[in-house]
Structure 1
Amino acid sequence: MMKPAGPTPVPFHTPHRAPGQADYVMQALRHGHLRPGGPFSRKTEAWLAAYTGAESVVLTHSCTAAMEIAALALGLGAGDEVIVPTFTFCATATAFERTGARIVFCDIDPATMMMDPDDLERRISDRTKVIVVTHYGGASANMEAIGVIADKRSIHIVEDAAQGFGSTRNGCALGTFGTFGAFSFHETKVVSCGQGGALIVNTDDPALLERVSSIVERGTDHARVKLGVKSFYEWTGPGSSFLLGELEAAILLAEFEALQENLASRTHIASMMIHGLEEAALPLAVIGADGQTKSNFHFIPVLAESTVTATHLKLHLKRNGIDSRQHYVPLHLSPRAREMNYGPAKLPAAEQAWGRLLRLPVHTGMRDEDITAFLASLEAWRITGCSKQGIGEDAAQRRSIRSA
């Protein structure tokens, strides 16, 4: 006897595939210039520069690479401090740690899961050289408040906009508010070429621009040779092989050209889901973009009333074929942070919020019937008494986190 068919699976993410990708890749293969700097690389950088209004754009093999270039260009070293929100991916810290700078973690606002400007101000010292801002889930951090704090002390801002490509704040692209911005085009992101990123340079400081050029030329002045200023190049400083290949650039250009259709689809899906969540009267709070931000809807983050409630919802959705995910353990609780004595040891807002967070899928592979199934699953969860489970266990877990 055959088993009844289960629900059609809804994966957490399905990469968007622009219709022009295959044609552009074939063109790249035919022209044969597959290393970085080919025709598609130049076209893709030009598109991104026009879109962001940046002084300069560098296509990189990852968002991490982009932030590493920024850290090197800013000349960080031992004795310097870099403030990083504790609720972020570890690469946000490691990109700056490898220069020898000390990482100082900052607490978050649970309403946004992003950097709390008030706590940021408490963490600044006379050794602070950089504030790294992580934009979360397609929403944007409070760049106005953070900008005021940084400007009055002449501290550089670097934006980790790995999840923010396609999002804007007051009409300006994320990644364009700091000295540098970094995007990710990893396969898990809204726009993807499999593995890639970009550095957005928002300064006309000739010294910084020269350093970026040298770093991406593997620590040489080869750019001057390309311009005909010199007949040979020399080693001038630190650098590495950070650039994106031509095939990935070809894929990325097709994705850029299809960006508005991609974003429109995600907005339609997310709007239906958020409306259903708000109507359902569940023990969840949707973490959405503020009124100044137009989101790319990378995913929908929700904050449950307890850690156990979040876990219970995740398991319930899984039984119904819907893949949802929790997210980062705060970095200040990590073995690495304890080993390096990165401070502070206690950041209560992040500690109390991270276990209650659940990310719900939004991607262009989702159909209206998938959204209907998701909302029906939420209704079934509500009927089963979703908010009445595991309160004692949750209290014990929070005590365990606080004592870590």
Structure 2
Amino acid sequence: MLYFDHCATTPPYEEVIEAVGEVMGKHYGNPSSIHKLGIDAERMLTKARDLIARLLQTSPDEIVFTSGGTESNNLAVLGAALQYGARGKHLITTAIEHASVYETFQYLERAGYEVTYVMPDGTGKVSAQSVLEAVRDDTMLVSVMHVNNEIGTIQPIEQIGRALQQNRRVLFHVDAVQSVGKIPVHPKQWGIDLLSASAHKIRGPRGAGLLYRRNGIQLQPVLIGGGQEGGLRSGTENVPGIVGFAKAFRMTMERREEAADRMAGLRSRLLSHINNISGLVYNGSERQTDMAPHIVHFSAPGIKSEVFVHALEEHDIYISTKSACSSGEDRPSRVLLALGADHSRASSGLRVSFSADHTPEQIDKLALAMESTLQQLRRYR
């Protein structure tokens, strides 16, 4: 079996599985309880928060634990809009954000906010100039993802963040779910106010995520109740998941640079294969530095992406179409349409995402399977 869908979720480290199991079995106290089991759980939570803050080069009190990337994105966007709506009702995002950001902005539009959706170029990159030129006197939030979850283009987050620092009335949120652990991320240095990350994208457990919230930023909570996580995220903390998140974060960051170099080599190898297979069209920039090292996206115009994915399953190979949250939808990719792709190309997008543990031989096997699958499907069109 060859699994090439690491953007959707990653297989957890064995050490993470063991850590999560141990916490579930031995440290099951509620961290809000005042007895010894509760205090022990709270200490584990504090230790995990300290570790993650150190890895992100932030303060522990700037880390809010959530259930994952979607909740973090919702808390950032909704929480900021509700808290600072008096500053202005104008918001800025891009046309290629993950659904948990894009649809939240659409919700806010229906609630009376005005949203500017900045368009990318043909490679999926949004220019910092276009984002900054969209800022108005009544703008209170800008949200731009770091790595596009579908095609892998890296956005100019540092350039945008440093420029926005000159206007402290405008908050800057970054969806870093696909970049943390893959490429450098420096929220403090880059002027980021809010940043989202998820455990299961870096070989941690599902059900754990975080929102970095710069000190001084207030948010309206979207979950109301017991007041956990500094009042921002009510509900009993997922201590096993958070401990697993911290462990996966540490292990991933220890090998990040080496892993990125290895994945970049695998990406180049696969891209070379794709360029030599008639009928496949690459989506993204030809410049390696503009693209995340773990994602390759292409289209097979004339063939539905879902059909291609299921045909590859016959080879025991697993890739995906677009975001796992919307891969079951039978409609063209919103992201590819925003890039200017026609309906055929936007309906046939395919995403390969991998880890540093994959081998060149596995990439070659994938390419051979893609070529034979393409030939087979063409015969039945």
TM-score when normalising by structure 1: 0.67
Aligned-residue sequence identity (percent) comes to 14
Secondary structure of 2:93's match?
Answer: strand
Equivalent position amino acid for 1:196 in 2: A
> Would the alpha carbon gap of residues 197 and 296 (structure 1) be closer, same or farther in structure 2, given more than 3 Å must change?
farther
2:365 to 337, 357, 373: 373
Residue in 1 aligned with 2:35?
A: none
Aligned residue pair count:
342
1:367 Cα shift? 5.6
1: CA distance between counterparts of 2:300 and 2:128? 24
Residue in 2 aligned with 1:93?
A: 102
Conserved? CA contact 2:202–2:252, under 8 Å: no
2: CA distance between counterparts of 1:285 and 1:355? 14
Conserved? CA contact 1:159–1:175, under 8 Å: no
> Would the alpha carbon gap of residues 106 and 350 (structure 1) be closer, same or farther in structure 2, given more than 3 Å must change?
farther
2: CA distance between counterparts of 1:110 and 1:244? 42
2: CA distance between counterparts of 1:190 and 1:323? 18
Residue in 2 aligned with 1:303?
A: 298
Equivalent position amino acid for 1:281 in 2: N
Conserved? CA contact 2:52–2:246, under 8 Å: no
Deviations 1:214-261 (A, max 9, x none): 84995898999xxxxxxxxxxxxx855267411111222221232147
Residue in 1 aligned with 2:143?
A: 132
Where does the alignment leave 5 or more consecutive residues of structure 1 unmatched?
A: 1-7, 225-237, 335-346, 391-404
Deviations 1:34-53 (A, max 9, x none): 44772222112111111111
1:193 to 175, 199, 205: 205
Equivalent position amino acid for 2:368 in 1: A
> Would the alpha carbon gap of residues 102 and 240 (structure 1) be closer, same or farther in structure 2, given more than 3 Å must change?
farther
Residue in 1 aligned with 2:69?
A: 63
Residue in 2 aligned with 1:105?
A: 117
1:193 Cα shift? 1.6
> Would the alpha carbon gap of residues 222 and 28 (structure 1) be closer, same or farther in structure 2, given more than 3 Å must change?
closer
1:141 Cα shift? 0.8
User: Within 5 A, what are the aligned runs for 1:321-360?
Assistant: 321-327=316-322, 349=339, 352=342, 354-355=346-347, 357-360=349-352
1: CA distance between counterparts of 2:285 and 2:44? 35
Secondary structure of 2:29's match?
Answer: coil
> Would the alpha carbon gap of residues 146 and 198 (structure 1) be closer, same or farther in structure 2, given more than 3 Å must change?
same
Residue in 1 aligned with 2:194?
A: 180
Conserved? CA contact 2:72–2:210, under 8 Å: yes
1:161 Cα shift? 1.0
2: CA distance between counterparts of 1:196 and 1:180? 17
Deviates more, 1:142-151 or 1:51-60: 142-151
Conserved? CA contact 1:164–1:174, under 8 Å: no
> Would the alpha carbon gap of residues 64 and 259 (structure 1) be closer, same or farther in structure 2, given more than 3 Å must change?
same
1: CA distance between counterparts of 2:195 and 2:290? 17
Residue in 1 aligned with 2:272?
A: 278
1:180 Cα shift? 0.9
Residue in 1 aligned with 2:36?
A: none
Say what the alpha-carbon RMSD is for the aligned residues. 4.4
Where does the alignment leave 5 or more consecutive residues of structure 2 unmatched?
A: 33-40, 330-336
2: CA distance between counterparts of 1:46 and 1:381? 48
Residue in 1 aligned with 2:26?
A: 30
2:173 to 121, 146, 158: 158
Secondary structure of 2:92's match?
Answer: strand
Secondary structure of 1:278's match?
Answer: helix
Conserved? CA contact 2:5–2:353, under 8 Å: yes
Conserved? CA contact 2:171–2:193, under 8 Å: yes
Which structure has the greater CA radius of gyration? 1
Conserved? CA contact 2:175–2:195, under 8 Å: yes
